[in-house]
Structure 1
Amino acid sequence: MATHESSAANEATRTASSNRRGPRADRTDIATGILDGARSVFARHGYQGATIRMIATEAGVDTKLVHYYHGSKSELFSAVIAATFTAEGIQDRLLKALAGDEGGWAGYLEYIITTLDDPRFGPPFISLLRSVGTHDESRTIMLRFITGQILPQIPAAHSAQGAPLELALIGAHIHGILFARYILQLPRICAATPHEIAQSAAPALEAYMAAFIAGKE
C-alpha cells in the first residue's frame, strides 16, 4: 500500500512538474478546468461542504494540482466568484451604473439578479451569501472579494476612509435584496421578476448616488 501511495504521489508530482514546463495553453486549460470543476462542486455542496478532493475529482486532476494552480480552498472560491463576475460582465455593468449608462442602477440590479437566477452561475455565490453571517471564513472571502475585486473598479472608492458612505449604502441595499430573495426567500420578492425588483429599488439606489454626487461638488 505504501509503495502504491508513493507511486501515486510521484506521478502527481511529475504531472505538476510537466504542466509547469508545458505550453502556456496547457496550463491555462488545466487551471480553467479546475475552476469549472470547483464551480460545480461549490454549487452542489456550498463552500463549507466542498472539499479540495471533491473539486479535484470533478476536474479529473490530482489534489496537488488544485493547490498548485489556485492555492487554498478559500482562494479557489474567490477565483470562482471573480471569474463568474468577469465572464458575465458584472464588473463592466457596475462601471456603467456609476456613469448612469445601461439603465443606471436599475439596469445593474436587474442584471445581477438575472445572473444569480441562472443555475449555471448563481449557486456558488448564493452559497457564499448564505454562510456569510455565521462562518468567519466565508465573511473573510466576501470582504476580500469586495475590497479586492469590486472597490478597485470604482475610482471614487480609493481613499484612506475606503468607499464613500453613499456607495457603501448602495452595496448594502443590493446585498439586502439578494439576501431576501435567495436566503430568506421572502415570497413576494421571490415571485417578482428581476425587472420588477430593479424598477422598485432603483429610486433608493439613485437617491444614494445623487447624494454621493452632491457631496463631491
Structure 2
Amino acid sequence: MTDTAPRRRGRPSRTQSADAPAARDRILAAAREEFSERGYDKTSVRGIAKTAGVDSALVHHYFGTKEQVFEAAVEVAFSPASLKVRDVVLEGPLDEVGERMTRLIFGLWENPVTRTPLLAIVRSAVNNETAAAVFRRLVAAQLMRRIAGRLDVPDAELRTELAAAQLVGVAMMRYVIKIEPVASADPEQIIARIAPVVQRHLTGP
C-alpha cells in the first residue's frame, strides 16, 4: 500500500534527504549567489531553495535560520585564508608581513571561487547588522586574532584592524564599487602600493 501520509512541516522529503550531500552543496552555492547579488536583507530562504532546486524545508533542515545559512555560505571564503594565515602570513620575517598579508587578501579576491562569497559578505554586512556580526565573528576568529598574536606590541589588535580596514577599503573600491582606475589596475601594482601601508600599520612606530 502506498504511503500517502503528509510530511510533517519542516522536514525534507525522502528523495531530497537521499540526495545529500549534493543537495547541501547546491544550497550553499545558491546561497552564495543570492547573497552576493541581493545582499542579506533581500535574500530569503525560499529564494535560496528555489535557486538550488530544493524544498525550503531542506534548507532549514541542513542549516537552520537565514543567519546560519549565510555563515555557512560565506565561510568558504575564510577557510583557505585560515589555512594560509599560519603558513603565508605568520611564518616569516615581521618586516615582510604587510606584503604577505596583502597578497593573501588580494589573492582571495582575484580567485573567482572565493570572490563570490566575499562579495556576499561585503554587500550584506554594509547594510545589515546580522550579516555584519557574522562577518566580524569570522574575521576575528580566523584572521585578526592570529595576526595580532604575532605582533609583540601593546596595541596589536588596533594595528591589525587598521591594516584590515586598509585592505577592505581598497577591495570595496576595486571589486564592489568598481571605481576606475583601481578596478582595472594590475593586482601587482595595487599590492606594491598598499603593502607598505599595511606594513606600517602592523609594525611601524
TM-score where L is the length of structure 2:
0.76
Q: 1:92 to 1:76 in 2, by over 3 A?
A: same
Q: What is the CA–CA distance in structure 2 between the aligned matches of 1:72 and 1:171, rounded to whole Å?
A: 29
What is the deviation of 1:39?
A: 1.8
Matched positions, count? 196
Q: Aligned pair 1:109/2:102, yes or no?
A: yes
Report the counterpart of residue 148 of structure 1 in structure 2.
141
Q: CA deviation at 1:27?
A: 4.6
Q: Does 1:93 align with 2:84?
A: yes
Residues 154-193 of structure 1 mapped to structure 2, 5 A cutoff: 154=147, 156=149, 164-193=157-186
Unaligned runs of 5+ in 1: none
Structure 1 residues 1-217: aligned runs within 5 Å: 7=6, 9-10=7-8, 13=11, 15=13, 19=17, 27-86=20-79, 89-95=80-86, 96-100=88-92, 104-151=97-144, 153-154=146-147, 156=149, 164-211=157-204
Cα deviation, 1:20-79, whole Å, max 9, x if unaligned, reads: xx7xxx654443332122122223333322211121122222211211211211221111
Q: TM-score, normalised by structure 1?
A: 0.72
Letter in structure 2 aligned against 1:36: A
Gaps of at least 5 residues in structure 2 are: none
Question: Kindly tell me: are residues 173 and 82 of structure 1, through their superposed partners in 2, closer, same or farther at Cα, counting changes over 3 Å?
Answer: same
Q: Displacement of 1:152 after TM fit?
A: 5.3
Letter in 1 for 2:174: R
Cα pair 2:82 2:143 within 8 Å, conserved: yes
Root mean square deviation, CA, Å: 3.4
Classify 1:129/1:98 alpha carbon distance in 2 versus 1 (closer, same or farther; 3 Å): same
Contact 2:126 2:132 in 1 (8 A): yes
| Identity percentage of aligned residues | 23
Structure with the larger RCO, 1 or 2 (CA within 8 Å, 6+ apart): 2
State how far apart, in whole Å, the 2-side matches of 1:47 and 1:55 are: 12
1:17/1:29 Cα in 2 relative to 1: closer, same or farther (>3 Å)? closer
Q: 1:143 deviation in Å?
A: 1.5
Task: Determine helix, strand or coil for the equivalent of 2:34.
Answer: helix
